[in-house]
Structure 1
Amino acid sequence: MSEPNVLLDIKDRIATVTLNDPERRNPITGNDMIEALLEKFAKVQADPEVSVMILTGAGSAFCAGGDIKEMNDPDGVFRKEPLAAAQSYVDGVQKLPQALYNLDIPTIAAVNGAAVGAGCDLTMMCDMRIASEKAKFGEVFLNLGIIPGDAGSWFLLRRLGHQRAADLTFSGRMVAADEALEIGMVLEVVPHDTLLERARERAAVIAAKPPRAVRIAKRLMRNAERMDLPDFLNSAAAYQALMHQTEDHHEAVSAFIEKRKPHFTGR
């Protein structure tokens, strides 16, 4: 029996989700990758024992995006009439940005190789990105006469700003790891063999924080993207008042005063 297209490992409050179709460079079409990712994201979201998620790819690529051969399939989404094709996006790939955006835990993309098209967008949907020296990114949709149908433009603008997003979108060029670091696509570039180790180091820092506070902080950051200041301040005040009542807050204060390491329980 073949391995599933997406793997999930949970340890020490860190969930690692791995795209696992390495022979095809982990595309999100032509397989059940989208459905499998959505299933794993839902499990992570519902598990109170998880505080942070790492998203990575098996093999030499992070994610090749859509399977280009499928674009020539007479029975595929690219040959459907426009209304049916649009609905296929709504029912399919567009569920990925919504699922990742709605996760209440921080997400780290550990980009092990090429992240192309929807694969590039998948990295942008995460809160943070760490790149292997072998990683490369490409917003290549225009090269194929199409546009990002998966919310890639929405995320790219917010991660990089208009000018950088415009350059990558309109040129369709590939970006190597060192340039990705220079323009702010990634937090850091590390030797290929240390990528997951480094991602787990960053994840462990988050996992050591009070679990409820981590999730509320993520919600607050989402609110900051869409609220004006008065509404945001009301939201922050309400969340902060809730945090005052948690056992982990009281434990953090006591540990600080007593000069000891805190023990957080998620309560």
Structure 2
Amino acid sequence: MSTPFVHYSLDNGIVTLRLDRPERRNAIAEVSDCEDLSAALRQAQESRASCIVLTGAGSAFCAGGSLQAIQQRQGIADATDGAVDIRASYRRGVQRAIEALWECELPMIAAINGPAIGLGLDLACLCDIRLASEKASFASSFIRLGLIPGDGGAWILPRIIGLSAASELILTGDSIDPPTAKSLGLVSRVLPAESLLPEALAMAQRIAANPAKTLRLSKRLLREGQQQRLGDVLQLSAAFQALAHETEDHREAVEAALARRAPRFSGR
């Protein structure tokens, strides 16, 4: 049996998910690759973890969809019976992985160690925080293959960098470097290659030091805030705040602040 596409590790409340096909630059070829990613995200959410770091093995973060699979009309681009099968393949494979990333309750940091191309760029964009190596590059290059962003990139990318910049990347297929990505707000920091993962893990530890239940509520509120009117978000905020007030960690945080000591959170 082949090894999973996603290598999963849990240490001190931090889950590291590593896309693990360096020989093909972590390109996604099979529906099972998407299922592995979705399963790893479920495993993380069901654990006692508080944060996820997503990165790639080898020189690339994720080169997108496998060109070989696309050319052979197999795997994620199965076309046994033409367009009907292609549509079904996208729905049960790539798009389910995208939905799993979007619905993930845990804060996620993308440690973008190399090229993030096409689908790979959109995987990174679905993380909450993106850190880039100086060796990274970014492209929404579907158009250069005569394709559209079939993974929802036309919805995802404008929410990160705005409609004009997203349109430029999607309609030209151009690649951009880390400084340009930072100037667009696509990544928050650019780091030396050797510092990328240690910095991502250190940030994950700072996040994980906070109350676990409130982290999940805060992330959900940020996600919902991108789609709803202010009035709706205020209603949701009131409901989430009521839940937060009833947690043991909230009471511990207040007591610790008044006593001027470090809090001891239990996750409850």
TM bucket (normalised to shorter chain) is over 0.9
Mark the CA change 1:115 to 1:75 in structure 2 (over 3 Å): closer, same or farther. Answer: closer
Conservation of the 8 A alpha-carbon contact between 2:14 and 2:208: yes
Which is worse superposed, 239-248 or 29-38?
A: 29-38
Shift of 1:159: 0.3
* Structure-1 residue corresponding to 2:8: 8
Conservation of the 8 A alpha-carbon contact between 1:19 and 1:33: no
Identity over aligned pairs, percent: 42
The Cα offsets for residues 220-246 of structure 1, whole Å up to 9 and x where unpaired, read as 112212222222211111111111111
> Does 1:60 pair with 2:45?
no
* Structure-2 residue corresponding to 1:200: 201
Specify the code of the residue in structure 2 equivalent to 1:67. S
Give the Cα separation in 2 of the matches to 1:74 and 1:229. Answer: 44
Gaps of 5+ in 1: none
Secondary structure at the aligned position of 1:10 is classed as strand
* Structure-2 residue corresponding to 1:46: 46
Q: TM-score with structure 1 length normalisation?
A: 0.96
Conservation of the 8 A alpha-carbon contact between 1:248 and 1:266: yes
Output aligned runs, 1:201-240, within 5 Å. 201-240=202-241
Give the Cα separation in 2 of the matches to 1:253 and 1:190. Answer: 36
Give the Cα separation in 1 of the matches to 2:203 and 2:214. Answer: 17
Conservation of the 8 A alpha-carbon contact between 1:14 and 1:51: yes
* Structure-1 residue corresponding to 2:69: 70
* Structure-1 residue corresponding to 2:83: 82
* Structure-2 residue corresponding to 1:100: 101
* Structure-1 residue corresponding to 2:250: 249
Mark the CA change 1:74 to 1:133 in structure 2 (over 3 Å): closer, same or farther. Answer: closer
Give the Cα separation in 1 of the matches to 2:233 and 2:186. Answer: 27
Q: TM-score with structure 2 length normalisation?
A: 0.95
Specify the code of the residue in structure 2 equivalent to 1:172. G
Cα RMSD, aligned residues only? 1.4
Gaps of 5+ in 2: none
Specify the code of the residue in structure 2 equivalent to 1:21. R
Give the Cα separation in 2 of the matches to 1:213 and 1:75. Answer: 43
The Cα offsets for residues 176-209 of structure 1, whole Å up to 9 and x where unpaired, read as 1121111111010000011100001111111000
Give the Cα separation in 2 of the matches to 1:256 and 1:162. Answer: 43
Aligned length: 266
Which is worse superposed, 84-93 or 139-148?
A: 84-93
The Cα offsets for residues 88-112 of structure 1, whole Å up to 9 and x where unpaired, read as 1111100112101111111111000
Conservation of the 8 A alpha-carbon contact between 2:31 and 2:94: no
* Structure-1 residue corresponding to 2:191: 190
Secondary structure at the aligned position of 1:8 is classed as strand
Mark the CA change 1:184 to 1:239 in structure 2 (over 3 Å): closer, same or farther. Answer: same
* Structure-2 residue corresponding to 1:33: 33
Conservation of the 8 A alpha-carbon contact between 2:17 and 2:40: yes
Conservation of the 8 A alpha-carbon contact between 1:27 and 1:33: no
Shift of 1:4: 2.9
Shift of 1:251: 0.4
Secondary structure at the aligned position of 1:32 is classed as helix
Shift of 1:5: 2.0
Shift of 1:83: 2.1
Give the Cα separation in 1 of the matches to 2:25 and 2:124. Answer: 15
